[in-house]
């Protein structure tokens, strides 16, 4: 088995290596040397994760505790660290916090200073070696001899670079090229770009597009095979136990299994009116009293895509055929409201109906488009009334006045390559209860505190409404959100799904289609 010290040595070399190709060579060499049953762990640790990306478990600790003193004994191995992390994540019930701290302290006691530092980085989710998920996939391709495109496609189906590496080590590179959607393994969802108007949409889609209501709910992916049903969020978290009503629908009303469907759920009050998104997230997190919660907060289910039918992958089929398959397996029930339009006037009328029904806006989908897991492009657009972007909270200021005791002024950032670019601050949009909950949450992510501002690990995604994107001399990004306000907390989105600086720049330029440009 591989000594943890070997991973530490690799991290040191990666830190001192500015050239990307050299980093790639070092990582590929390491992945080629670790044991078959260690490669997924190695990929996770190099990506700054205590568990593989497809594993929903979390450690639930603020950081690596200090060891009381060195214990000595045998050197740490990758498997030892993975086993300790599993024990920490699985601790539950009374005294579980103390048990987690004690288990991590025992792990730290076996580590030397350099090992303890890298352990702390993994626990904190911030490796800082310049190894991105993209580089990890390229390293797997280099180590295995497989084509990079084949490895990237396999990663879309596995949803986890570590699983790709494991498949290569266990079954060879031919297995990577043969990967198709698999029941029980969630795929990354296909994503949409923001469109400014319907003229842009119709031009991109050849004069004909399919519009669907854009619901203010949560994305789900449902896998069904006979009586076996599993449901995941867009972050690939398993929420099957929290949605017994959706499981029942799948068992009673869906045909054509084995199948995989993509859709949205919306929380309803007892009168059938949509509830706030945050209420839906509370339902998703329920693991006790689920049946009672389902009765108190029923869900409206809206499917909009069929990825697998009767065990056959449909992702390379055009959207129009996938919709036909979806209508067949659902019997025409539980479908997103939809219309095919060819003119701006038809599109605007459908958009008005969506807003009148209380929904966010519409999705526009190219009828000829395949389903591209994890991909964002012009094949799918979203059009909403309020301009919003998905930002990460990277720091928060201590509150004053009535907000004393809270972290209540949030520093917002978008993704910029492997890092983050600040684009504004806001204290608007949350209720008092949400301020309190967010304060507790951010303290668990704290990386530094200068007495007024707490720097946090960028793990919380928030949807931010804004009036305008402005040029900014203050932020290195060069842009700032004017009148930023948090519209909702996006617990259904992972940090890697936040808006990018490139996308924000495109939105900035798009503003000038409607107004003049100074200078």
Share the mean pLDDT of the chain. Answer: 90
Same domain, 272 and 206: yes
Same domain, 371 and 392: no
- Out of 384, 410, 440, a domain closes at 384
The b/e string for 425-463 (b: 16+ C-beta within 10 A; e otherwise) is: bbbebbeeeebeebbeebeebbeeeeeeebbbbbbbbbb
Closest listed residue to residue 382, CA positions, set 260, 509, 216: 216
Averaged over 322-328, what is the pLDDT? 98
- Out of 177, 209, 235, a domain closes at 177
Same domain, 379 and 420: no
Count the domains in the chain: 3
Same domain, 77 and 127: yes
Same domain, 66 and 208: no
Tell me the CATH number at 122. 1.10.3260.10
CA distances from 363 to 215, 304, 330, 354, 477 (A): 9, 10, 21, 10, 29
**Across 114-118, 265-269, 469-473, least confident range:** 265-269
Q: Assess if residue 201 is contained within a domain.
A: yes
pLDDT higher at 125 or 28? 28
Q: What range defines the domain where residue 133 resides?
A: 4-177
CA distance 511 to 508: 5
Same domain, 86 and 235: no
In the predicted structure, residue 214 carries a pLDDT above the cut 60: yes
What burial class does residue 314 get, using C-beta atoms within 10 Å of its C-beta: 0-12 exposed, 13-18 middle, 19+ buried? buried
pLDDT of residue 87: 94
What confidence tier does 69 reach under pLDDT thresholds 50, 70, 90? low
Averaged over 79-96, what is the pLDDT? 92
Q: Identify whether the C-beta of residue 176 lies closer than 8 Å to the C-beta of residue 146.
A: yes
Q: Which residues are catalytic?
A: 214
Closest listed residue to residue 362, CA positions, set 261, 215, 200, 196: 215
Same domain, 483 and 452: yes
What confidence tier does 519 reach under pLDDT thresholds 50, 70, 90? very low
Same domain, 373 and 410: no
Q: Provide the whole-model pTM.
A: 0.71
**pLDDT tens readout for residues 285-311:** 766 777 777 777 788 999 999 999 999
Backbone torsions φ then ψ of 491, nearest 5 degrees: -65, -15
Closest listed residue to residue 196, CA positions, set 464, 507, 502, 515: 507
Closest listed residue to residue 221, CA positions, set 273, 161, 272, 156: 156
Same domain, 202 and 169: no
Q: Identify whether the C-beta of residue 65 lies closer than 8 Å to the C-beta of residue 101.
A: yes
**% residues pLDDT > 70 (the chain):** 96
pLDDT of residue 514: 55
């Amino acid at each position: 088995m591989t000594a943890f010290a070997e991973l530490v040595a690799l991290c040191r070399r990666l830190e001192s290596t500015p050239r990307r190709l050299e980093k790639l060579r070092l990582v590929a060499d390491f992945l080629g040397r670790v044991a078959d049953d260690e490669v997924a762990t190695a990929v996770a640790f190099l990506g700054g994760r205590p568990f593989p990306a497809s594993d929903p478990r979390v450690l639930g600790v603020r950081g690596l505790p200090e060891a009381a003193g060195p214990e000595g004994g045998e050197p740490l191995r990758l498997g030892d660290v993975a086993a300790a992390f599993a024990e920490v994540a699985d601790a539950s019930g009374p005294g579980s916090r103390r048990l987690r701290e004690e288990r991590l302290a025992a792990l730290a006691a076996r580590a030397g200073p350099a090992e303890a530092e890298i352990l702390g980085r993994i626990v904190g989710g911030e490796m800082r070696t310049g190894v991105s998920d993209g580089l990890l996939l390229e390293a797997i391709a280099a180590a295995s001899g497989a084509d990079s495109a084949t490895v990237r496609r396999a990663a879309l189906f596995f949803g986890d670079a570590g699983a790709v590496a494991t498949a290569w080590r266990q079954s060879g590179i031919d297995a990577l090229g043969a990967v198709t959607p698999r029941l029980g393994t969630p795929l990354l969802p296909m994503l949409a770009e923001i469109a400014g108007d319907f003229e842009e949409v119709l031009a991109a889609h050849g004069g004909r597009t399919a519009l669907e209501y854009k619901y203010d709910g949560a994305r789900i992916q449902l896998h069904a095979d006979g009586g076996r049903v599993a449901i995941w969020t867009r972050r690939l978290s398993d929420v099957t136990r929290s949605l017994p009503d959706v499981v029942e629908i799948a068992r009673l009303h869906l045909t054509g299994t084995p199948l995989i469907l993509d859709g949205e759920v919306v929380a309803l009050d007892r009168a059938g009116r949509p509830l706030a998104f945050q209420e839906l997230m509370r339902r998703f997190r329920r693991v006790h009293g689920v049946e009672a919660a389902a009765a108190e907060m029923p869900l409206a289910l809206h499917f909009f895509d069929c990825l697998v039918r009767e065990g056959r992958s449909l992702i390379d089929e055009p959207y129009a055929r996938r919709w036909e398959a979806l209508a067949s397996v659902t019997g025409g029930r539980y479908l997103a409201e939809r219309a095919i339009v060819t003119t701006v006037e038809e599109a605007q009328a459908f958009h008005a109906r969506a807003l009148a029904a209380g929904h966010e806006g519409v999705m526009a989908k190219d009828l000829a488009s395949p389903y591209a897991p994890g991909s964002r492009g012009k094949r799918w657009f979203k059009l909403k009334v309020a301009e919003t972007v998905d930002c990460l909270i990277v720091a928060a200021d201590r509150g004053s006045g009535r907000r004393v005791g809270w972290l209540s002024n949030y520093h917002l950032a978008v993704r910029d390559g492997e890092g983050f670019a600040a684009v504004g601050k806001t204290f608007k949009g949350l209720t008092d209860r949400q301020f309190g909950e967010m304060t507790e949450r951010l303290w668990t992510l704290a990386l530094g505190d200068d007495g007024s501002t707490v720097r946090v690990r960028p793990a919380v995604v928030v949807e931010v409404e804004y009036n305008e994107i402005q040029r900014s001399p203050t932020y290195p990004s060069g842009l700032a959100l004017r009148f930023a306000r948090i519209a909702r907390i996006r617990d259904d989105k992972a940090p890697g799904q936040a808006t990018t600086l490139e996308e924000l720049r495109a939105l900035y330029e798009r503003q000038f289609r409607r107004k003049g440009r100074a200078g």
